[in-house]
Amino acid sequence: MQTFLIWLRGLISATISAAAGGVALIVVDPTTFNFHQGIGKLAEVCGALALVHAAGYLQASPLPGVKSDPSPKP
């Protein structure tokens, strides 16, 4: 159980840090990505970054305790 909790914390950490990194777009293009008119676009970018980083984390650290067999069974 301890291994799973460590894995879950890592997944959450990767997702949150990626989404928070999207907020840097406010500095890059404040007219498009802001907290007033551009909140929808900002949320889309933060969500996309979070998904990409979560997928990367899952690729590097798959669910602990699950064995995958790369050879297909007939």
Grouped pLDDT means (10 residues each) for the chain, 74 residues: 86 88 84 85 88 89 73 64
pLDDT at res. 39: 85
pLDDT of residue 20: 85
Q: Return d(Cα 45, Cα 30) in angstroms, integer.
A: 14
Share of the chain above pLDDT 90, in %: 4
pLDDT of residue 67: 66
Instruction: Indicate whether this model's pTM tops 0.75.
Output: no
Cβ-based neighbour number of residue 16 at 10 Å = 14
Cβ burial of 23 (10 Å; 0-12, 13-18, 19+) is middle
Tokens of 37: 């008119």
